[in-house]
Structure 1
């Protein structure tokens, strides 16, 4: 199973698979299916692999998250462990000063507990993580880079969800300051044509991978998300 075989039509966007060990930003405004897209990729991939994954949710509780996935026809693989941040709140009455270090250690501990069979990771979302850390922005990005680089060297394929404040058009080439973290950027958005809005996905970049640069329609079916070529 390849990552690009996990969503119907995604293998038409990519000629080759997302390289394992990559760090991929999944960006977009609210309502563009960032969590659903990333969850389906990991869950379907893990269902066919002798591997495990970790989905760290920093905004929604586990049960709400699962209900949202179920409403979109997305199934949960038992090999994908969901860790919501209430786990950390129960263990630690106050957030430690170096929250990134705590998060990194918990992720690496989970990997060790699976005898290094945990190969995939999602952090949902980067904005929520930033909101819990009260340090200067430049220093925060340095620490974030060090943590992500640790995951890269561990061979973890890491998806980081980054919510944008506004709906950006398909002609907007900005990727945000966090682009420096990533080997790949998957943009999810909304395209408006008159009174009709279509969700779309586009690959901004993906190192060591052949892929389309055009937008593709992203839709919800009874059996999860689907990607197909559309007229914009």
Structure 2
């Protein structure tokens, strides 16, 4: 059964999956919606439709086998299953790639190409490997994201890719709930974990890109950031996913790899993208600050995009 059909079909099993995935949001919206709603205001039905519409799948996806978890004992670093980044010059200096099941932070300032680089890793991992993944976006809309990646030369219509990548666009739902003043009434952390678990159980996927943690933190109350981020990372880790969480680095000095300064401690790996200015010139550089269970080269190297090869390369 195809990927789109497994989530949207109207048979008994499909209905069960869809209702289970949407019920928490519908229940919250119903409880939060005022008894008197203006004609122009979104109703519970329109919000329900927004959640369904937020799942933009590039194409149908076939059956996907359960991914294998990373061995936790009895295996040396060189024996771990790894996911290649397909960034020329990086995998060769990182024992072949990122250990399967790792949680990685991709951090950098605005314009450092965090989304582009992370999407390219997902794209090429799917294109050249027997794997599948989802890209969750909370800021850039799915149409804008697809257009940007296509303009870079990534052929997202290639069936080897379109059948195995799903884009989940939560930006519309986020705006809709903000307009209704209901964002603070949703347990975004709990619902995100439930949704990922539902998708993993129902359709199966192995790679996760989350764009971005900063946008997500604006939606949820972070009374104890370290505990909440640990809760999210551990939930993703239990699902056996290899994941990339994009983090915006703000401030003049850009010394903190996340909103709260604890994300990098809780993650398994940190890929840092920097922009160095020399006069009128700006050079983008990449450094692997941290990667557990991996012998990797330290330091920062310039990188750029090779459109003809549809991948980044370290210079």
TM-score range, shorter chain: 0.7 to 0.9
Q: TM-score, normalised by structure 2?
A: 0.64
2:207 paired residue number: 120
2:273 paired residue number: 188
Residue deviations 1:114-147, cap 9 Å, x none?
2x3x1111110010001112343xx243122112
- Alpha-carbon distance, 1:47 to partner: 2.1
- Alpha-carbon distance, 1:105 to partner: 1.1
Hey, what's the Cα distance between the residues in 1 that align with 2:246 and 2:87? 17
Structure 1 residues 16 and 49, CA gap change in structure 2 (3 angstroms)? closer
Contact between 2:134 and 2:209, CA under 8 Å: does it hold in 1?
yes
Q: Greater helix share, 1 or 2?
A: 2
Contact between 2:87 and 2:314, CA under 8 Å: does it hold in 1?
no
Q: Greater strand share, 1 or 2?
A: 1
2:313 paired residue number: 227
Pairing partner for 1:68 from 144, 148, 157: 148
1:101 paired residue number: 190
Structure 1 residues 166 and 55, CA gap change in structure 2 (3 angstroms)? same
2:228 paired residue number: 143
Pairing partner for 2:106 from 20, 23, 26: 26
Pairing partner for 1:179 from 250, 261, 264: 264
Hey, what's the Cα distance between the residues in 1 that align with 2:175 and 2:144? 18
Hey, what's the Cα distance between the residues in 2 that align with 1:38 and 1:167? 24
Hey, what's the Cα distance between the residues in 2 that align with 1:192 and 1:90? 35
What stretches of structure 2 of length at least 5 have no aligned partner?
A: 1-80
Hey, what's the Cα distance between the residues in 1 that align with 2:306 and 2:253? 25
What stretches of structure 1 of length at least 5 have no aligned partner?
A: none
Query: Matched residue of 1:208: which SS?
Result: coil
- Alpha-carbon distance, 1:66 to partner: 1.0
Task: Please report the RMSD computed on the Cα atoms of aligned residues, expressed in angstroms.
Answer: 2.4
Hey, what's the Cα distance between the residues in 1 that align with 2:131 and 2:119? 15
Which piece of structure 1 moves more, 8-17 or 45-54? 8-17
2:244 paired residue number: 159
- Alpha-carbon distance, 1:159 to partner: 0.6
2:18 paired residue number: none
Matches within 5 A, 1:197-208: 197-208=282-293
Pairing partner for 1:211 from 277, 287, 296: 296
